[in-house]
Structure 1
Amino acid sequence: MFELFTSMMKEEWRIHSTIFGSLSFALFPVMIAGIAFMSTFLLPLFGTVIPIQQLVLITHALFLLLGVMVGGFGLLGNEVMNRRFGQASLLAYSARTLPLSERFIFLNFVIKDTVYYFILWVFPFVAGFGIAAPILGISMGYPLMLLLTLTLTFLTGLAWVFLLSTIYARSKLVLALAGVLLVLVAGASTLFFGVDLIGTFPPLALFGAFSPAVLLEALLLIIVPFIIAVQAFTTELADATKRYPNRFTPLMKRLSFFPYPYLAAKDLLDLLRTGAAVGQTIFSFLLPLGLIWLFLSLIGSFLPHSALLLLFAILTGVLASTMYTWLTAFDTVGSYGCLPIAVRTIIFSKICAFSLLQAIPAVFLAIITITTGAGQYLPSVLVLALAISFFGLAVTIYLTGLSPNVLVYDAKVLVTYLVSMAIVIVPLIVLSFMNPFYPLAAALLLFPTAYLIRRSYPRWERADIEGF
């Protein structure tokens, strides 16, 4: 097992270092540490606006969210083994050539990815904070405790969403029943027994006061779902052989208003038939946004309701822009290499499919806005979220082309993306706090969005030609 694990780690490094260079990939965790280091010096300023306890809560929420977004391994089932692993991770595909079971290989893959993301995200963040802590007179006990609790928080999100997505891959009905049961238990605990679910979250409680009993609870909260998920994982389902009716032609006709309806139909069918359309919506969009709304509501007393709603719209727009990665998860430029299709045609077709997917955040925000009694702000909310989403799409396409799932780990690419988004988001947040109708100015983002997309076409066509 250790030999397979170390081989997978070496393979992961070779893949990424080959794509964008050893130095650039190695600098990614250094960049995360640098961001954490500089942010630590802003703690006194943040403390005047938001209590430190709330900042600790938000930090843990972000790492829980990271674990949630990483944890959807079981979501695509055999699609992951057959498509992604078959192209990008040769060892994970070795069950077909070596006497190793899919479960054994998948267990090693999950452990490898856990260590991988810990090195990329968790440890660098805590290291940056730990370097700055002595300068600000902060006890070194806090970085050490933060390393423990953030790791446990990340693993909790990963393990539970891994379990839920594995259940989803086996039975959508069982997942729905499990979701209803969790909601009922959480609601009953809060309403009838007065349990503070957030305050009793073991890693967060452990940060407030270390206790061996609480540490054991936190470990069980990770180990139990992890073991169940690994045991439940399989790529040999009873209904593995599926027969589909011809949905391509009818869907292509419905999308005839698009310039390339056949490509848009192909992308949407990929999402539908792999389960990603529902699964990604739940695990990569609705669940993260639910957590964001929950923790934003905790600072609601510090912000007007309209400002809180518009801030949520901004974050929704940022998250909605990642839907582009859903459309690029199942194919690469190489898969079109033998067809007379230009790179700009592929990109444009994915932009069209992306536009259809934006109905999801639009409907979600409309429901949130109306149910909270803020219907008068609905135009500002929708314009703000969709403008940021399409601008984020344009930046992503310009920087990563058709490979956003991989190139995001290039430190230079990520820094450029974060700076580009911050230049737009920060002024919009200020406008939101000044007047709830000022964010309508976000519609002006249409111009830089169109400019970046036009510049992206020749950029990635040249890159494709040079690659050949």
Structure 2
Amino acid sequence: MFELFTSMMKEEWRIHSTIFGSLSFALFPVMIAGIAFMSTFLLPLFGTVIPIVQLILITHALFLLLGVMVGGFGLLGNEVMNRRFGQASLLAYSARTLPLSERFIFLNFVIKDTVYYFILWVFPFVAGFGIAAPILGISLLYPLSLLLTLTLTFLTGLAWVFLLSTIYARSKRGLALAGLFLVAVFGGTYLFFGVDLLRMFPPLALFEAFSPVVLIEALLLIIVPFVIAVQTFTTEQADATKRYPDRLTPLMKRLSFFPYPYLAAKDLLDLMRTGAAVGQTIFSFLLPLGLMWFFLSLIGSFLPHAALLLLFAILTGVLASTMYTWITAFDTVGSYGCLPIAVRTIIFSKICTFSLLQVIPVVFLAILALTTGAGQYLPSVLVLGLAISFFGLAVTVYLTGLSPNVLIYDAKVLVTYLISMAVVIVPLIVLSFMNPLYPLAAVLLFIPAAFLVRRSYPRWEKADIEGF
């Protein structure tokens, strides 16, 4: 097993270092450590606005979200194992060429990805904080505690979403039942026994006070769902030949108002047939946003309700902008190389498909605003969420073209992306705290967004010609 795991790790390094160069890819975790290092010096400033206890809560919530967004391995099973002889002959596709079972290969794939994200995100963040801690007179026990608890938090989100996505891949009805069961258990524990929901999350309780018993609980919270997910995971397909009716033609007719309905129809069919249309919406959007709202509501006593809702709209917009990665995950520019289609046509078509998917965050934000009694803020919430989403899309298109899933791990690309987003998000957060109507000014973001998209067309057509 270890030999296959190390080979997969080497394979991951070779893929990214070939694309970005060894130095650029190696600098990615260094950049994360640098961001954490500089952010540590802002703790005294943040502490005057939000208590340190709440900052610790937010940090753990972010790493739980990272685990949630990484852990949808169950959705990848059929995709990874079926593409055995694709353009990239990866080890994960070799179940028919190696004397190894598909489950064994996929287990190594999951462990490899877990270690991969830990090295890229979790450890660098704690290392940056640990380097700055002595300078601020913070005990080194805090970075060590964070390394343990943030790792456990990340793995908890990953393990549980891995289990839920595996259940989803087997039975959508099973996922609904599992979701209802979890809601009933946690909701019942909170309502009938008065147990604080946060105290039911062992990693956070472990940070507040170390206890061997709580450590064992935290480990079991990871090991149990992970083992169940691995045992119930399947890559097997039914032997019967699958036949599909012509869905492209009627879908093209429905999308006739699009500039390129045939390309938009293809993208939507890709999303539906790979399960991403529902699976990605649940595991990459609704579930992370649900967790975000839960943790933000815990600090609601420190923020006005309107400001809290608008802050959530900003986070929703940032997450909604990642829907572009859903659309570009199934093909590359090379697959269009033999067709008379320009790169700008492909990009523009995917932007149109992205626009159609924005119905999801709009409905989500509208329901949230109306059910929380904040319907009067709905215009500001929707404008803010959509403006951030489309601006994030424009930055992503300009920086990564049709390969956002890969190029985001170029340190230079990520730094540029984070700075570009921070420049607009920070002022909008300030405006949200000042007056609920001020965020309507976010509509102006559509101007630089359109400019960036127009600039991206010649940029990526040139890159295609040069064989990027």
Which TM bucket (shorter chain)?
over 0.9
Structure 1 equivalent of residue 462 of structure 2 = 462
Structure 1 equivalent of residue 442 of structure 2 = 442
Relative to structure 1, is the Cα distance of residues 239 and 65 closer, same or farther in structure 2, using a 3 angstrom cutoff? farther
Q: CA deviation at 1:356?
A: 0.5
Distance of 2:119 and 2:249 partners within structure 1? 46
Q: Is the 8 A contact 2:396 2:417 kept in 1?
A: yes
Matches within 5 A, 1:47-58: 47-58=47-58
Structure 1 equivalent of residue 216 of structure 2 = 216
Q: CA deviation at 1:195?
A: 1.2
Structure 1 equivalent of residue 316 of structure 2 = 316
After superposition, what is the alpha-carbon deviation per residue over 1:350-403, rounded to whole angstroms, capped at 9, x for unaligned?
Answer: 001000000000000000001111111111110110011001000000000000
After superposition, what is the alpha-carbon deviation per residue over 1:49-105, rounded to whole angstroms, capped at 9, x for unaligned?
Answer: 111111111111110100000000111431233349944461111112111111000
Q: Is the 8 A contact 2:387 2:443 kept in 1?
A: yes
Distance of 2:24 and 2:187 partners within structure 1? 47
Counterpart AA for 1:326: W
Q: Is the 8 A contact 2:84 2:95 kept in 1?
A: no
Q: Is the 8 A contact 2:80 2:92 kept in 1?
A: no
Matches within 5 A, 1:336-415: 336-415=336-415
Aligned residues, how many? 468
Structure 2 equivalent of residue 275 of structure 1 = 275
Structure 2 equivalent of residue 196 of structure 1 = 196
Structure 2 equivalent of residue 152 of structure 1 = 152
Q: CA deviation at 1:174?
A: 0.5
Distance of 1:185 and 1:237 partners within structure 2? 34
Q: Is the 8 A contact 1:320 1:389 kept in 2?
A: yes
Distance of 1:369 and 1:307 partners within structure 2? 12
Matches within 5 A, 1:172-191: 172-191=172-191
After superposition, what is the alpha-carbon deviation per residue over 1:302-342, rounded to whole angstroms, capped at 9, x for unaligned?
Answer: 11111111111011000000000000111111111111111
Distance of 1:197 and 1:85 partners within structure 2? 47
Q: CA deviation at 1:230?
A: 1.1
Relative to structure 1, is the Cα distance of residues 156 and 275 closer, same or farther in structure 2, using a 3 angstrom cutoff? same
Relative to structure 1, is the Cα distance of residues 84 and 271 closer, same or farther in structure 2, using a 3 angstrom cutoff? farther
Matches within 5 A, 1:288-307: 288-307=288-307
Q: CA deviation at 1:209?
A: 1.1
Distance of 1:119 and 1:80 partners within structure 2? 22
Counterpart AA for 1:403: S
Relative to structure 1, is the Cα distance of residues 362 and 282 closer, same or farther in structure 2, using a 3 angstrom cutoff? same
Structure 2 equivalent of residue 6 of structure 1 = 6
Distance of 1:121 and 1:298 partners within structure 2? 25
Q: CA deviation at 1:198?
A: 1.2
After superposition, what is the alpha-carbon deviation per residue over 1:129-179, rounded to whole angstroms, capped at 9, x for unaligned?
Answer: 000111111111111111011111111111110011011101101111000
Q: CA deviation at 1:242?
A: 2.8
Structure 2 equivalent of residue 433 of structure 1 = 433
Structure 2 SS opposite 1:376: helix
More divergent stretch after superposition (290-299 vs 321-330)? 290-299
What percent identity do the matched residue pairs reach?
90
Q: CA deviation at 1:301?
A: 1.2
Distance of 2:42 and 2:85 partners within structure 1? 42
Structure 2 equivalent of residue 248 of structure 1 = 248
Structure 1 equivalent of residue 111 of structure 2 = 111
Q: Is the 8 A contact 1:95 1:102 kept in 2?
A: yes
Q: CA deviation at 1:241?
A: 4.4
After superposition, what is the alpha-carbon deviation per residue over 1:218-261, rounded to whole angstroms, capped at 9, x for unaligned?
Answer: 11111111111111112113377432221110000000111100
Normalising by structure 2, we get a TM-score of 0.98
Relative to structure 1, is the Cα distance of residues 53 and 264 closer, same or farther in structure 2, using a 3 angstrom cutoff? same
Counterpart AA for 2:347: I
After superposition, what is the alpha-carbon deviation per residue over 1:183-231, rounded to whole angstroms, capped at 9, x for unaligned?
Answer: 1111111111111121231111111111111111111111111111111
After superposition, what is the alpha-carbon deviation per residue over 1:404-427, rounded to whole angstroms, capped at 9, x for unaligned?
Answer: 000000000000000001111111
After superposition, what is the alpha-carbon deviation per residue over 1:266-305, rounded to whole angstroms, capped at 9, x for unaligned?
Answer: 0001111111011111100011111111111111111111
Matches within 5 A, 1:32-43: 32-43=32-43
Q: Is the 8 A contact 1:15 1:88 kept in 2?
A: no
Relative to structure 1, is the Cα distance of residues 355 and 83 closer, same or farther in structure 2, using a 3 angstrom cutoff? farther
Distance of 2:106 and 2:303 partners within structure 1? 45
